[in-house]
């Protein structure tokens, strides 16, 4: 029993005090915590510096990107402005060309109209010349035959022809019917032939009546004859008003008459 107690006493005397055994883990934990805190503080500083450096790098990259983007945008704007200017020039050129084409077209139309009018006048002249060429030649009348026979007899030297013809006209009026009939009957047969040919020629070149004139003629023939000029004017106004009220088919019926 004594030996056991002695052994226990020795063990207590040679070993670490009891309070130290109790507080040692706490102290160790405290030291460890302090080292951890110190390590964390150092790490935090490094982390802040790393974050700051990263922000700086990011900022630099962003500025470089913005600069590049601005350069690209500026180049694109220049290209767009160049294209817009070219398009504007092309539009102005097209507008000028269009104006020239319109002016040329107007000029061509004017020339075509003038040529058409010229051709129309030429055709009218040709038809007129053709008409006059086909006109039957009127034979000499009795008075002309009388003048031809007596002209040289009644002219005094270089007397004016008008005076001679005037004097012969007076003489013709004073001639007897027998003398005048003598000259009139010289070309009697030719005159009859001329009258027939002239009527045929006039009918050939007679201007055809249009539907309105035919309607007026028809209305006038089937109406009471006016007794005065005022009544005639009022009648023509009524005919014109009636013509306007006709249908196209009714107007065409007069054209075909």
Burial (CB count <10 Å: 0-12, 13-18, 19+), residue 118: exposed
Burial (CB count <10 Å: 0-12, 13-18, 19+), residue 87: exposed
The confidence score (pLDDT) of residue 5 equals 38
Task: Report the sign of the C-alpha dihedral through residues 45, 48, 51, 57, in that order.
Answer: negative
- E-only strand ranges, 43-178: none
More confident residue, 34 or 251: 251
Q: Contact, 232 vs 226, CB < 8 A? A: yes
The confidence score (pLDDT) of residue 219 equals 87
Q: What are the domain boundaries of the chain?
A: 2-71, 141-207, 208-257
The confidence score (pLDDT) of residue 10 equals 45
* Angle ∠(179,184,188) on CA atoms, nearest 5: 145
Q: Which two tokens stand for residue 56?
A: 């700086």
Flag whether the pTM goes above 0.75.
no
Alpha helix stretches (DSSP H) within 135-187:
142-154, 161-174, 177-184
pLDDT at 227 over 50: yes
Distance (Å, whole) CA 122 – CA 139: 31
More confident residue, 120 or 58: 120
Distance (Å, whole) CA 141 – CA 180: 10
Q: Which fold has domain 141-207?
A: DNA Binding (I), subunit A (1.10.30)
Q: How does pLDDT run across 145-156, given as a tens digit for each residue?
A: 888 888 888 888
Q: How does pLDDT run across 73-99, given as a tens digit for each residue?
A: 677 777 888 888 888 888 888 888 888
Nearest to 149 by CA among 167, 168, 163: 168
């Amino acid at each position: 029993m004594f030996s056991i107690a002695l052994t226990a006493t020795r063990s207590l005397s040679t070993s670490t005090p009891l309070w130290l055994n109790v507080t040692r883990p706490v102290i160790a934990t405290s030291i460890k915590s302090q080292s951890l805190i110190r390590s964390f503080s150092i790490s935090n500083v490094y982390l802040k510096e790393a974050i700051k450096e990263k922000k700086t790098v990011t900022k630099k990259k962003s500025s470089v990107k913005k600069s590049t983007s601005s350069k690209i945008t500026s180049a694109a704007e220049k290209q767009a402005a160049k294209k817009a200017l070219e398009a504007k020039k092309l539009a102005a050129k097209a507008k000028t060309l269009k104006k020239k084409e319109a002016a040329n077209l107007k000029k061509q139309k004017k020339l075509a109209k003038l040529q058409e009018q010229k051709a129309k006048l030429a055709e009218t002249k040709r038809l007129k010349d053709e008409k006059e060429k086909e006109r039957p030649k009127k034979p000499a009348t009795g008075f002309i035959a009388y003048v031809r026979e007596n002209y040289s007899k009644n002219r005094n030297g270089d007397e004016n022809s008008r005076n001679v013809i005037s004097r012969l006209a007076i003489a013709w009026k004073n001639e007897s019917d027998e003398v005048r009939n003598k000259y009139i009957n010289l070309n009697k047969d030719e005159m009859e032939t001329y009258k027939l040919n002239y009527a045929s020629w006039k009918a050939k070149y007679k201007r055809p009546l249009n539907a309105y004139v035919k309607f007026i003629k028809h209305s006038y023939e089937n109406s009471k004859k006016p007794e005065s000029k005022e009544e005639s004017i009022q009648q023509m106004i009524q005919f014109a008003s009636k013509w306007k009220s006709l249908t196209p088919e009714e107007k065409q019926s007069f054209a075909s008459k």
